[in-house]
Amino acid sequence: MTKFSDLELNPKVLKAIADAGYETPTPIQAGAIPPALAGRDVLGIAQTGTGKTASFTLPMLSLLARGRARARMPRSLVLCPTRELAAQVAENFDTYSKYLKLSKALLIGGVSFKEQDTLIDKGVDVLIATPGRLLDHFERGKLILSDVKVMVVDEADRMLDMGFIPDIERIFGLTPFTRQTFFFSATMAPEIERITNTFLSNPARVEVARQATASETIAQSVAMVKSSRRDRADSEKRALLRKIIDDEGAACSNAIIFCNRKTDVDVVAKSLTKHGYDAAPIHGDLDQSQRTRTLDGFRAGDLRFLVASDVAARGLDVPAVSHVFNFDVPGHPEDYVHRIGRTGRAGRDGKAITLCNLRDEKALAAVEALIQKTIPRLDMPSDSAPPEPEPDQDSDAKPARSSRMRGKDKPAKGDTSETSQTGPKADAVKPASENPEKAKSRQNSRKTGGDARTMGMGDHLPSFIALSFDERRSD
Are 32 and 206 spatial neighbours (Cβ–Cβ below 8 Å)?
yes
CA dist., res. 8 & res. 268, Å (int): 50
Query: Per DSSP, what are the bridge partners of residue 350?
Result: 218
59 binds ligand AMP (CB under 6 A): no
CA dist., res. 232 & res. 412, Å (int): 27
- Per CB under 6 A, the segment of 44-52, 127-135, 166-174, 241-249 that binds ligand AMP is 44-52
Show the binding pattern over residues 202-241: x = contacts ligand AMP (CB under 6 A), - = does not: ----------------------------------------
Question: Interaction with ligand AMP in 1-30: which residues (CB under 6 A)?
Answer: 22, 25-26, 29
Q: Which is nearer to ligand AMP, 23 or 392 (CB)?
A: 23
CA distances from 191 to 71, 79, 124 (A): 35, 17, 31
CB of 100 to ligand AMP, least distance (A): 18
CB of 427 to ligand AMP, least distance (A): 36
Q: Which is nearer to ligand AMP, 93 or 327 (CB)?
A: 93
Member of 53, 82, 271, 421 binding ligand AMP (CB under 6 A):
53
Helix 333-340 to helix 361-371 angle (10° resolution) is 70
- Residue 76: exposure state from Cβ atoms within 10 A (0-12, 13-18, ≥19): buried
CA dist., res. 305 & res. 303, Å (int): 6
50 binds ligand AMP (CB under 6 A): yes
423 binds ligand AMP (CB under 6 A): no
CB of 130 to ligand AMP, least distance (A): 17
Tell how far CA 440 is from the center of its chain: 37
Are 423 and 366 spatial neighbours (Cβ–Cβ below 8 Å)?
no
317 binds ligand AMP (CB under 6 A): yes
CB of 244 to ligand AMP, least distance (A): 29
Member of 48, 76, 175, 382 binding ligand AMP (CB under 6 A):
48
52 binds ligand AMP (CB under 6 A): yes
51 binds ligand AMP (CB under 6 A): yes
Please count the residues of this chain forming the interface with ligand AMP, following the rule CB under 6 A: 12
158 binds ligand AMP (CB under 6 A): no
31 binds ligand AMP (CB under 6 A): no
CB of 319 to ligand AMP, least distance (A): 8
Query: Per DSSP, what are the bridge partners of residue 206?
Result: 44
Member of 32, 42, 45, 54 binding ligand AMP (CB under 6 A):
54
Judged by the rule CB under 6 A, the positions of this chain that interact with ligand AMP are 22, 25-26, 29, 48-54, 317
